Amino acid sequence: MKRTIQTDNAPQAIGPYSQAVEIDGTLYVSGQVPINPKEGKVVEGGIEEQTDQVMKNVGAILEAAGYSYKDVIKSTCLLKNMDNFKAMNAVYGKYFPENPPARAAYQVGKLPLDVMVEVECIAQKG
């Protein structure tokens, strides 16, 4: 059975999609951008601050669905500029200190709201 996940602790969808969908014990988290959910605005600062907010948003959705970062099996990181890869990795890695998930990272032409980073992931209970 398909279950739609929604939490006020992460930004509301800025389009016709769900924050996450769970089906058959697998959670698909939509791409998260660095919007502070309390203010509804993109966080100030550079790639480190934006990556941190993105990962907090991912974490809030995981928690709302009954999952944690440890359950993430795959993620995709979209970067406005690949020159930010190392700095993004430094922040991202703090959320996966052991057994990090499989991952892809891409530089893209433009991201929603002209942010620097977006992250989506898939989680599954082990």
Instruction: Residue 68: give its domain's CATH number.
Output: 3.30.1330.40
3-state DSSP of 16-33: CCCCEEEECCEEEEEEEC
The answer to whether the CB of 79 falls within 8 A of the CB of 88 is: yes
pLDDT tens, position by position, 44-88: 999 999 999 999 999 999 999 999 999 999 999 999 999 999 999
Q: Which whole number is the average pLDDT over 104-109? A: 97
Count how many domains the chain has. Answer: 1
Three-class SS state of 52:
helix
Residue 69's domain spans which residues?
3-124
**Nearest of 27, 89, 111 to residue 62 by alpha carbon:** 27
Angle at 6 between CA 52 and CA 33, to 5 degrees: 30
